[in-house]
Structure 1
Amino acid sequence: MVGMTLEQWAAAGVVLGAILSALTLAVTVSRPLRRLARQNEEFRQDWYGVPPRPGHDAVPGVPERLRRIETELHPDGRGTLRDAVNDAERRLKDVESRLDDHLRARRGGRLDR
């Protein structure tokens, strides 16, 4: 190395600068790419779900959760949310009818609301 000429030192400096620039660029570009990859993985886990693993229950994905919600919106006579709403509506109408009959009887056949 002692016998290197000025041109050789300059060439070595250019090569070293190019290597350092390439490393800096790689680090600078890799950070946002790693963040994007992590966000993509989180989205995929949310969408498709996560299977059970030791110490953790399975997490259902969005399509499965939507199917579960959708089944609650249709009456089937087995206690879905829609069945409960229909039953509450029926019972409320029955109470309203009985209250109207009671008020009508107390007011001599007329109902003033």
Structure 2
Amino acid sequence: MKVFESTTKKIFFSSWVSLHQAESKKADVTQLQASHSHFGWGFLRPLRQWLDNLKVGDRLLAHRLCKFIPAQCPFERDVKLFGKTLFHIPPMCKLNPLYEEVVGLRFRAMCYLADECGEDISQYC
């Protein structure tokens, strides 16, 4: 079974929500995209599209992507003093305007390694 194909192509969105909810979600996405360009993130659109359209077709590239893109935010921490938690630093990766595209690229690389190459990807999870 191909993981990427089964998670993307075989999902029937209309069976989960009604048509009215789907239209309202589409309007929300359009509004969100407009807000990104309003805050100055519009100049990143070509880079976002390039990352989304990047195909992983090389085993070495896939391994490097899985190795260099972390599975979880490396900045999230609990600051402790004498065994007591003073404060918590929240994950800041989601502040990155390219976060979704980079995580999607890592997912595609892992799917390539699992589906096409037949490798064990548990080391990257």
Question: Which of the pair has more CA radius of gyration?
Answer: 1
Higher relative contact order (CA 8 A, sep 6+): 2
TM-score by length of 1: 0.25
Superposition TM-score, scaled by structure 2 size? 0.23
